[in-house]
Amino acid sequence: MIFHVVGGDPAYQMAGKYASAEQVQSLRQELGTDKPLLIQYFGFLSQIISFNWGNSWQTSQSVLQMIGLAMGPTLSLSLPSFIVGLLISLLISIKSLKSKQSHTNELVSVLCLALMSISFVAYIIIFQYLFAYKLDLFPVNGWDPSLLKRWPYLFLPWIIAMLVALGPNILLFRSLLKKEMEQDYVVTALAKGLSLERTLWHHILRNSLLPISTAISLQIPFLITGSILLEAFFGIPGMGSLLIEAIQSADLPVIKAITVLGALVYILVNLITDIFYTVLDPKVTLQ
């Protein structure tokens, strides 16, 4: 609806400003944009059912083939930084809770808020200028499709992605773990002499996995649809770059396919998370 209302006329954009009215109308008929909006919407629903998005209006390539090619770079960028970032966030959260010194917890909170207060774009520009341009430790941007040669282009985006996620993840995980620490069974276990470290790892963390897994599941769909800013600034040909190019050129088949893919992944991840609850907590049953 948004692209039909404010997205402009794709046929006019593709034909160019010097095209005649007949050429634009012929292109509208070829694209199917001359049909009533309701008919186009039912065509969109049939594409969801058949998962056949046709070809790109700009490149004439198969949309599914374009998404398949873009998925590899996106997962190469997002998956390692996501997993390592989660582990670091969880370890820092547990470490700060183990500390009995209040200033340590306050310092962690201040650092997390500082990390969250810096713009994503600022991270990218500063890191590119300092570590890639000035120190020449990493390439400024670029990409190599080879599985073995692409990693130098990914180290700097990985670091930025992890830094951006650390602040909110640590604050959230620590809040969930701290709430669990206030439960009666934890107070009783500590009073009976059980060490804080053992209580954290064997009881508090396990009982906090339900809300933690929910928080993690909300982030997973973005691993598939891509990090738009990182891919755009570093020249990584992933899903984010593909979406930006499609929006700029009003390539509606690509936009629709990526939108539906993101929605389906979101639904699927939430379903898997609900099923996973039964593994984490025997008291939870599926109905």
- What does the block give as tokens for 248? 């700029």
pLDDT at 123 over 90: yes
pLDDT at 259 over 80: yes
Instruction: Give the Cα separation of 119 and 115 in Å (integer).
Output: 9
Write the pLDDT tens digit of every residue in 68-88: 999 999 999 999 999 999 999
Q: 182-193: string of b/e by CB count within 10 Å (b at 16+)?
A: eeeebeebeeee
Place of tokens 């049953």: 285
Q: Indicate the pLDDT class of residue 102, thresholds 50, 70 and 90.
A: low
Q: What is the mean pLDDT of the chain?
A: 87
Instruction: Give the Cα separation of 46 and 254 in Å (integer).
Output: 15
Taken in order of first residue, the domains within the chain and their CATH numbers are 63-241+272-280 (1.10.3720.10)
The lowest-confidence range among 56-65, 179-188, 201-210, 278-287 is 278-287
Q: What is the 3-state secondary structure (H, E, C) of 179-194?
A: HHHCCHHHHHHHHCCC
Q: What does each C-alpha distance from 104 to 93, 96, 110 come to in angstroms?
A: 11, 7, 10
pLDDT at residue 154 in the model: 94
- Helices assigned H by DSSP within the chain: 2-5, 10-15, 21-31, 37-50, 63-98, 102-117, 120-127, 155-181, 184-191, 196-199, 205-225, 228-234, 239-248, 252-280
Q: Indicate the pLDDT class of residue 122, thresholds 50, 70 and 90.
A: very high
Q: What does each C-alpha distance from 24 to 8, 16, 193, 250 come to in angstroms?
A: 13, 9, 80, 15
Q: What does each C-alpha distance from 259 to 41, 103, 187 come to in angstroms?
A: 14, 45, 47
CA 272-162-217 angle, to 5 degrees, is 10
pLDDT at 97 over 90: no
- What does the block give as tokens for 135? 């120190």
pLDDT at residue 37 in the model: 84
Instruction: Give the Cα separation of 173 and 94 in Å (integer).
Output: 9
pLDDT at residue 151 in the model: 92
pLDDT at residue 8 in the model: 67
pLDDT at residue 7 in the model: 63
pTM of the model: 0.83
Q: Indicate the pLDDT class of residue 178, thresholds 50, 70 and 90.
A: confident
**Mean pLDDT value across residues 195-219:** 84
Instruction: Give the Cα separation of 71 and 31 in Å (integer).
Output: 26
